[in-house]
Amino acid sequence: MAVQELKQENAQDLQALLMRLETLENRVAELESAPAQDIEDRLAMVLFSGDLDKTIAAFIIATGAAAMGLEVSMFFTFWGLSVIKKKKTFDDKTIF
């Protein structure tokens, strides 16, 4: 009797797996037939270092990407802010 129950459980498991396989095959076919999504030509960069060599490299990459027609966004954070921050000078002021 135990053997018969095992066979029945295995048959049920096999049937469930076949149903899942059919569902997955249908989903794959649906995805393959769907039109490809347009990938936007964009580049986003984060500059978080104020080092000259890293800054120059970031701007070279951004300039090259823009020359290739990509929309470029650069985000400056932490020490990278010192690159774009306007330096304030007080010519007529002294410390004392």
Q: What is the DSSP string of 6-47?
A: HHHHHHHHHHHHHHHHHHHHHHHHHHHHSPPPPPP-EEEEEE
In angstroms, rounded to a whole number, what is the distance separating the alpha carbons of residues 58 and 63? 9
Can you say how many angstroms the Cα of residue 78 is from the centroid of all Cα atoms in its chain?
21
What was the pLDDT predicted at 3?
72
Mean pLDDT over the full length of the chain: 86
Check if the beta carbon of residue 49 is closer than 8 Å to that of residue 81: no
Q: Which of 9-18, 29-38, 45-54, 56-65 has the lowest mean pLDDT?
A: 29-38
pTM for the model stands at 0.52
Which one, of 13, 12, 72, lies nearest residue 40 by Cα? 72
